[in-house]
Structure 1
Amino acid sequence: MEFDLSWIVLGLPVAFALGWLASRLDLRQLRQDSRRAPKAYFKGLNYLLNEQQDQAIDAFIEAVQNDPDTTELHFALGNLFRRRGEYNRAVRVHEHLLSRGDLSRGDRERAQHALALDFLKAGLLDRAEDALRRLEGTPFEAQARLALLAIYERSRDWPQATEIARRMQAAHQGDFGTRQAHYLCEQALAHTAHGELDAAQSLLLQAVTAAPQAGRARIELARLHQRRGDARAALRVLHELAGVAPAALPLAAPLLVEAAAATGQESEAHTLLTRQYQELPSLDLLDAIVALEGGGATPARDWYLRHLEREPSLVAATRWLAGETLSQPQAQPKVQRALEHASRPLTRYRCAACGFEARQHFWQCPGCQSWDSYPARRVEEL
C-alpha cells in the first residue's frame, strides 16, 4: 500500500489553524482572568487606603474567588477580619491556608503565626498557646515566645513563664534575669500564703541570685524573716538592700523601723535612713526617721520643715502644719482636713508606662501589666 503524501500536505495547514485557534482562545481566557483579579485586588487596596474596610473585604473576597490559589490575598483578607474583630472568619481563612498541600514552608509558618494571633485576639489562650508552640524553630520563634510569656503571666502560670524566660535568656533575646526573679517571688508569695515558709525562703534566695541588683527579692525575704520572728535576719537583709538597691529602700522603710525596734538597733537604723535621705530625699524615709526618733533630738515638725527647705512638698507642709497652732484655733480642723484631702492624691504611686495610679506600690502594673514600671517614689516626688 502506497502512502499518499497529499494528505500530509492538506493536514498540516488544518493542524496549524486549529493550534493557532486554541492558543488564541487560551490567551483570551488568560487575559480575562488576569484583568479580573488585579482589578478586584486594586479596588480592595483603594478601599483599604480610604479606611473603608467593609468594601475592602468584599473586593478581596471577589479576588480570592477569582484566583483561589493566591496566598497573599488570603493573608490580606485574614488580617482584615482580625482587625475588624471577626476572629472566627480570620481563623477560617488561615486554617484554609494551612490545609493546602502546595503551600511553601515560609507561607505555612506565616499562616501559623497569623492563626496564633487570631486566637490571641479572640482570647482563646489554650488554642493560642498550642499555635504559638508550633512556631519553635521558625523565624517567628522570638515573637511566639514573647506572646507565650504574656499568656503565662496573665494566667499566673509562673513555672511555665520561668521556663520561657530562661529559653529567651539562653537565646540572647534579652536580659530576663529580673523577670525571672519576679516569677520566683510570685511563687514564694503563694507558698507563704499557704504557710509553706521554708519553700518560700528557698525561692526567694533563688530570686536574689537571679537578680542581685533588684530590690524586690530582698524586701520579700526580709518580710519573711520578720514573719518568722527573726528580726535580726530581716534587718541584715535590709542593710544589704541599702547597699545594692538603695532606690528601693523607701518601700521597706516601715519594715526597717519595725525590725530595728524589735532588735534594739534603732540607732543603726536611724543612721542608715538619715544617710540615704541625704543622698535621695524621700517622704517614706522621712516618715521612718521621724518614727525612730519619736520626739527625740529633732522634733518631727523640724524634720518636715527641713524637707520643705530642700524641695516644695504639700504633703510635708500638711504634716508640719498639723503641729502648728493657728491664730483661729477653731479653724484648725477644717484647714487640716482640706490640706490632707488635697495632698492625698500626691501620696499615690504612678506607673511610668501607662500612668495608672494606686495607693500601694505594685511590682507589676495592674493596668498595662508592665514590670518595675512603678518608681519607689510618690507622685509628688516624681
Structure 2
Amino acid sequence: MEFDSSWLLLGLPLAFVLGWLASRLDLRQSRADSRRAPKAYFKGLNYLLNEQQDQAIDAFIEAVQNDPDTTELHFALGNLFRRRGEYNRAVRVHEHLLSRDDISRGDRERAQHGLALDYLRAGLLDRAEDALRRLEGTPFETQARLALLIIYERSHDWQQASAIARRMQDAHQGDFSVRQAHYLCEQAAGRIARADHEAALELLTQAVAVAPNAPRARLELARLQLQQGAPTTALATLRELASTAPAALPLAATLVVEAAQACGEQQSARAMLQAHYQAQASLDVLDAIIALSVADAGGAGPAQAQDWYADYLEREPSLVVAGKWLAHETLSHEERHPAIQRALDLAAKPLLRYRCAACGFEALQHFWQCPGCQSWDSYPPRRVEEL
C-alpha cells in the first residue's frame, strides 16, 4: 500500500491551526490567572489597611493559590498568622519557603528569620534558639542575637547571655557593657546563694570593671563586703558609688548606715549623705541621715529628726514624710501644721513604690530588670512620690 502524500499536506496546516488555538487558550488562561492574583493581592492589602485581618488572610490565601511561586505573598501570610497568634500556620508557611529550591539566598534567610520569630512568639524557646543560631553571618545576625538575649534572660542562662552580649560588643553591634554587668551580677547572686563568696566577689569585681558607672555592681559588691565582715571596705565602695552614680545613692542609703555604724564612721558618712541631700532631696537619704544622727552620741535625738522632716516638707510636700513627722509630733509646733496639711492633701494612695519608666509596673522593691516588660534599668532609684 502506497503512502498518499496528500494527507501530509492536509495534516500540516491542520496541526498548525490546532497548536495556535491551544497556545491562545493557554495565554488567555495565564492572563486570567495573573489578573486574579493581583486583584486578590490588592484586596488583601485593602483589608489590611482597614485592620480586617481575617479577610486579608483569606484574600492572600486566594492569591497564593493562583500564584504559588510568589514569595512575597507567603511572607505576608506568615506575618499575618504570627500577629494573630496562629503560630502553627505561620511555621508551615515559613517551612514551605525554606523547602523550596527556587528562592534566592536573601529570601531563604528572611524565611529563616520569620521561622525563628514564630517559635519565639509561640514560646518554643529551644526551637527558636536553634533557628536563630542559623542566622549567624546573615543580615539578620544582630536581630537574631538580640532575640537570643531575650531567650537566655527568660531562662536565666546568664552565662550564655553574657557570651552573646560580649560578642555583640566586640562586633560593634551596640554598647552592651551595662547589660554584661547585670549578667555578671546575676551570676554572682547565684554564687552567693550557694555560699561561694569568693567566686561571687570575683564576678562583681569583673562587673565593676566592665561598667564602671553602673551602680548595681558596686551596690552588690558593698553588700557582699559587709556580709564578709569588711565594713570599712564596703563603705569605701559605697563612696565610689556616690561619686560615679550619685543618682543611685538612695538605693544604698541603708547600706551606708550599716557600714558606717559597723566601722565607726558615722560622721563622715553623714557628711557624705548630707552633701547628696542638699543637691537632691531624697526620702531614703533623709532617713539614713536621721538614723546616723540619732545613733551618733554627739547628735540630737528625735527632736532633730522631726526638724529634718519638717524642713523637707517646706521644700516639697510629701505624704510619707508628713506621716513620719506626725509620728514625732506632740502638737506643739502649730506653725508647721499648714505644711503638714498640704502634704496630707497631696495623695491618698501608697507612694513608697518604685515604678518602671518603660511600662509603668509598680513594685514595693527596686528591680534592676522590670518583671513586667523585662527592661533593664527602667526603675528610677527614687520612689513614686519623688518622681
Fold shared, TM-score > 0.5 on shorter chain: yes
1:354 pairs with one of 359, 366, 369: 359
Q: Which position in structure 2 is the counterpart of 1:102?
A: 102
Q: Which position in structure 1 is the counterpart of 2:335?
A: none
Judged with a 3 Å threshold, the aligned counterparts in structure 2 of structure 1 residues 344 and 40 are, in CA distance, closer, same or farther, namely closer
Alignment of 1:244-263 (within 5 A): 244-263=244-263
Q: Which position in structure 1 is the counterpart of 2:383?
A: 378
Q: Distance in 1 between matches of 2:266 and 2:77?
A: 69
Q: CA deviation at 1:106?
A: 0.8
Partner amino acid, structure 1, of 2:304: P
Judged with a 3 Å threshold, the aligned counterparts in structure 2 of structure 1 residues 172 and 123 are, in CA distance, closer, same or farther, namely same
Alignment of 1:177-188 (within 5 A): 177-188=177-188
Judged with a 3 Å threshold, the aligned counterparts in structure 2 of structure 1 residues 344 and 24 are, in CA distance, closer, same or farther, namely closer
**Native 8 Å contact 1:315 1:343 kept in 2:** no
Q: CA deviation at 1:262?
A: 0.8
Alignment of 1:1-382 (within 5 A): 16-294=16-294, 296-297=299-300, 299-326=304-331, 345-382=350-387
Q: CA deviation at 1:224?
A: 0.3
Q: Distance in 1 between matches of 2:257 and 2:83?
A: 53
Q: CA deviation at 1:47?
A: 2.8
Judged with a 3 Å threshold, the aligned counterparts in structure 2 of structure 1 residues 344 and 192 are, in CA distance, closer, same or farther, namely farther
RMSD (CA atoms):
2.5
Q: Which moved more, 1:231-240 or 1:217-226?
A: 231-240
Q: Distance in 1 between matches of 2:160 and 2:30?
A: 54
Q: Distance in 2 between matches of 1:88 and 1:108?
A: 19
Q: Distance in 2 between matches of 1:192 and 1:37?
A: 63
Cα-to-partner distance string for 1:279-310 (whole Å, 9 max, x where unaligned): 11111111001001117247100111121222
Q: Distance in 1 between matches of 2:50 and 2:377?
A: 40
Cα-to-partner distance string for 1:107-142 (whole Å, 9 max, x where unaligned): 101111111111111111110111111111111111
Q: CA deviation at 1:94?
A: 0.8
Gap regions ≥5 residues in structure 2: 333-339
Q: CA deviation at 1:13?
A: 5.0
Judged with a 3 Å threshold, the aligned counterparts in structure 2 of structure 1 residues 155 and 144 are, in CA distance, closer, same or farther, namely same
Identity of aligned residues (%): 76
Q: Distance in 2 between matches of 1:47 and 1:304?
A: 61
Q: Distance in 1 between matches of 2:25 and 2:360?
A: 67
TM-score by length of 1: 0.90
Q: Which moved more, 1:197-206 or 1:226-235?
A: 226-235
Number of residue pairs aligned between Structure 1 and Structure 2: 371
Gap regions ≥5 residues in structure 1: 328-334
Q: CA deviation at 1:222?
A: 0.5
Q: Distance in 2 between matches of 1:46 and 1:239?
A: 62
Q: Which position in structure 2 is the counterpart of 1:332?
A: none
Q: Distance in 2 between matches of 1:303 and 1:23?
A: 96
TM-score by length of 2: 0.89
